[in-house]
Amino acid sequence: MEVLEGYDLRDPMIGVVASHSALDTCDGAVEEGFRTLAVCQKGREKTYAKYFRTTRVGGRVASGVVDEVRILNRFSDLVRSEQQDALISKNVLFVPNRSFTSYCGIDSVEDEFEVPLLGSRNLLRSEERGEEQDYYWILEKAGLPFPETVEPEEIDELVMVKLPHAVKTLERGFFTAASSEEYREKSELLLKHGVIDQDGLDLARIERYVIGPVFNLDFFYSPILDQVELLGIDWRFESSLDGHVRIPAPQQLTLNEAQVSPEYTVCGHNSATLRESLLEKAFDLAEKYVEATKVHYSPGIIGPFCLQTCVDKDLNFSIYDVAPRIGGGTNVHMAVGHPYGNALWRTSMSTGRRLMREVRIALEKDALEKIVT
């Protein structure tokens, strides 16, 4: 807040780590009249520095979404004092995404990063599975549904084993099993091929597999307007899982031991809607989550959050993951918005633009302290 007091809020800039959902963030900022800054890692900058760089004519954006690029040797260099000073000198309001917390480290984000964040800084740690107060803890406090856990020796139905990938450090080493014997066989095979490691397996969470479609519910909570909004819904393309399900069963049975277990690496997203009789149930999930965060993570969730859900055969939701920040699939809303956000705001309203609209409202009401942490 001391840093924010020194800002010239007549011309703030929106900053973001150039990964994950950065294009949606920058597109929304441009739509709401803000300049943008993308923090890139050397060797990964072309998307932002070349292909989506803004062109302005008479001060108005003619094309692109990224006004300025800051290229670092490593994303983690962003927490160095000279890098922070550079952002502060440009009046940057920073949007946290999953890449930011993964590459820079949650301890550094909480204790060292002095640039004002748009959103709930203290909730970002809840995304770290295995923390004492992770998102399962807050879901339980809120009375929200999530898949129950199972011990390895108790597996007697299909389960999902959640653990990190051994090599792709930001990805998943997930696998399924329907019995204790299958769990042992698959884990030994994945250990052998280096997909998972023993440390990850020892700390894995095993939970009942909810059979049903996946819906990532992209919500927004406005502390200024005190309202919960459903902006959009997305679902994932996962490699190599989606490749496996496109192979006919006879061919699946011919896969060798290195191919037989699919991986769950997210590589894209698509847009979805819910049948309208489920919308009120979805809003109920969000309302309970928002209220629980106010109690246990004061001041509570600010801005975008994503409840990642499955819907079972009885049309009941189970929440299997929570993103307390802008979701990974919101680029599907970019520029065109999404039916729900558009219907509410009567314009093309993506998650990125909705966050920037909140900044605009906060500036007009002199209430920026309500959405910055």
The enclosing domain of 265 has a CATH number of 3.30.470.20
CA 130 to chain centre: 17
Residue 223 sits in the same domain as residue 196: no
Q: Mapping DSSP to helix (H, G, I), strand (E, B) and coil, where does residue 264 land?
A: strand
The answer to whether the CB of 29 falls within 8 A of the CB of 334 is no
pLDDT digits (tens, 9 = 90+) for 5-45: 999 999 999 999 999 999 999 999 999 999 999 999 999 99
DSSP assignment letter at 147: P
Same domain, 228 and 343: yes
pLDDT in tens, 73-124: 999 999 999 999 999 999 999 999 999 999 999 999 999 999 999 999 999 9
Q: How many CB atoms lie within 10 A of CB 90?
A: 18
Residue 336 lies in a domain: yes
Does the N-terminal peptide bond of residue 299 adopt cis geometry, omega within 30 degrees of 0?
Answer: yes
Residue 177 lies in a domain: yes
**Would you say the C-alpha torsion 24, 28, 31, 35 has a positive or negative sign?**
negative
Any residues with CB less than 8 A from the CB of 177 and at least 6 apart, and which? 155, 158, 159, 161, 183, 186
**pLDDT of the residue at 15:** 98
Q: Is residue 191 located within the same domain as residue 247?
A: no
Q: Identify the pLDDT of residue 170.
A: 77
In the structure, how many helices (H) and strands (E) does the chain have?
14, 14
> How would you classify residue 20: left for phi > 0, otherwise alpha for psi between -120 and 50, otherwise beta?
left
The pLDDT of residue 172: 87
* Domains of the chain: total: 3
pTM recorded for the entire structure: 0.96
Residue 363 within a domain: no
Tokens encoding 234: 């997305």
On whether both 288 and 139 belong to a single domain, the answer is yes
Residues 223 and 349 both lie in one domain? yes
CATH code for position 24? 3.40.50.20
Strand partners, 38: 16, 69
Both 82 and 186 in a single domain?
A: no
Q: Which is nearest to 135 in space by CA: 305, 268, 264? A: 305
| Residue 49 structural domain | 2-117
List Cα–Cα distances, 268 to 45, 124, 306, in angstroms.
Answer: 19, 23, 16
| Residue 59 scores a pLDDT above 90 | no
- What's the pLDDT tens digit per position in 155-209? 999 999 999 999 987 788 899 999 999 999 999 999 999 999 999 999 999 999 9
- Percent helix, strand and coil across the chain, each to the nearest 5: 40, 25, 35
